Amino acid sequence: MNAPAGVQVIVVGAGPVGQSAALLLARWGIQVLVLDRRAGRDSTGSKSICQQRDVLDIWAAAGAGKIAEEGLAWTTARTYYRDRELFSWSFEREGPLPACVNISQTRTEQILDEAIAAQPLIEVRWDHEVTGLDQDPSGVTVRCGQRSLRASYALVCAGARAQGVRQALGVSFDGETFDDQFLICDIKADLPGWENERRFYFDPLWNPGRQVLIHPCPGGTFRIDWQIAPDFIPTKADISGKIGQIIGDRPYELLWHSTYRFHSRIASRMRVGRVLLAGDSAHLVAPFGARGLNSGVPDAENAAWKLAFVLNGWAGEGLLESYHAERHAAARENLEITGATMRFLAPRTVAERMRRRAVLEGGLVAEVDSGRFAEPFWYVDSPLTTPEPTRPFGGRPPKGALCVPAPGVILPDVGLSGGRLREFCRDGFLVLLGDMCDSRLFAQVLGKVITAPLAVRGLAEMDGTGSLAERLGAGPDEAWLIRPDSHIAAIIPHAGPDSVAAAVRRVLGETIGGTA
């Protein structure tokens, strides 16, 4: 069977990253074929549960805002050493969307499937395992057994089991696998006081020498993760005993359980010609800090708008090469952060074990590492970003705080009378102008030199209260260029149309070579 006529992108993998990519591509008018090796959708299991604010924003743009609505917005994280609470912290409510929600991956996929079913530009085919992949200057041929499918580009979101595709592309996947296993259980129980709290236990008496993590989920369910020995095979009695040690003699229902090991790996390339890798196909990280799916979905968004711009004739191959530059840097940052976490959670040397004990027994809160929560990657050093010396990147803010806007940083999501600020960013480039800039002049000049979708708006007109410039910290003579993924490409003081046009050309990848 051939691909439907007009298919422009084949997405390999129908998990949340592939689903997100398909929806975002279709939003740009791109026809997509999604392939998955499985016979159908998995129906149980929480899997990836903790979804960060900026990913919820992406899903809202993709037509899956129900994920944020149905998810449980937990507020407090408590960390214990044995039976002693070391510290707690709470998310600050900034912007219209919650800082994060917990919702099972199974339900997330169902909501994304509903959005896909309503999108005529997407076709999903199950039982299509990719067995080969070839590309030439005009497109990509994807083979599934005896079936050959053709498209202009392929986006591989096939999860960790994408070794065959990576090998076909000549891409290595270096890294390591951690010895210890983790046992996951989804339970339904009445646990008063735990409904909006995440609890992390170092070395509890009921799991000596290892960790336990408990997350609340919607509908009175809880997800529990135990670190267990490499050779331990839990029986039903083991699982029942472990649950009882945590919740006591309360009644509960065991909904699902599984075991897994952590990996820390990264692909050597995330773009090879007409093929892009995203999500677990390109990088694997330990889940403490929820940096797996919360980095895979931004991969999908980054790839989708760039593929769409190239396919629609608005940009050249240089823009596609920026996908590797930006998202590979994001993956490296996540590996560094999660690697440090795993060295604290599962120390491998005498020195690491001694340091961990000293930190925990001494109550050195600032040095306790149970996972830094997922954050968007900021494209400060991207070849698409126009730096501005008067707006330097101030570095990562304290836990839970928002970053001061600067070129490369994601735009704060501010509530407006007509919706959220980021909702105005999704249809192309957005230029926000201070009061001293003439919106009509900018629109006239930019419209003559740029074919990509672009809107020019005064900051004052965006917000009926006139306070948006103050809330963002924008000057009256400044122009802010915002990318379709809501990242700030440039902040230009004393702005004129020509300087903004130069920044737009840069964010279209015109200064980047197109070879992979």
Strand order in the sheet with 488-492: 454-458, 429-433, 479-482, 488-492
What does the alpha-carbon distance between residue 295 and residue 334 come to, in Å, rounded to a whole number? Answer: 8
Q: What secondary structure letter does DSSP report for 259? A: E
Strands laid side by side in the 221-228 sheet: 84-90, 76-81, 197-202, 211-217, 221-228, 173-189, 252-267, 283-284
- pLDDT tens per residue, range 292-301: 999 999 999 9
Half-sphere exposure of 174 (CA within 13 A, CB side): 5
Main-chain phi, psi angles of 83, to 5 degrees: -105, 15
Q: C-alpha angle 411/415/418, rounded to 5°?
A: 115
**For the chain, which ranges sit under pLDDT 50?**
1
469 HSE (CA, 13 A, CB side): 18
3-state SS, residue 351: helix
Are 374 and 206 contacting, i.e. CB atoms less than 8 angstroms apart?
A: no
Structure confidence at residue 220 (pLDDT) = 95
Report the alpha-carbon distance of residue 474 to residue 493 in Å, rounded.
9
Q: In the prediction, which pLDDT does 509 show?
A: 95
CA–CA distance, 482 with 457 (Å, rounded to integer): 11
Between strands 147-151 and 197-202, the pairing is unpaired
Residues with Cβ within 8 Å of 424's Cβ and at least 6 positions away in sequence, in order, are 430, 455, 457, 462
Cα angle: 72, vertex 75, 81; to 5 degrees: 115
Give the per-residue pLDDT at 395.
Answer: 84
Q: What are phi and psi of 198, to 5 degrees?
A: -95, 135
pLDDT at 168: 93
Q: What pLDDT is recorded for position 2?
A: 65
Q: How many residues does the chain have?
A: 516
| pLDDT score for 44 | 86
Half-sphere exposure of 240 (CA within 13 A, CB side): 5
Q: In DSSP terms, which residues pair with 510 in a beta bridge?
A: none
The whole-angstrom separation of Cα 192 and Cα 21 is 39
Handedness of CA 400, 405, 409, 412 (dihedral sign): positive
pTM of the model: 0.95
The pair of structure tokens assigned to 114 is 């509903």
Give the per-residue pLDDT at 385: 98
The residue among 222, 223, 200 whose CA lies nearest residue 213 is 200
pLDDT at site 511? 84
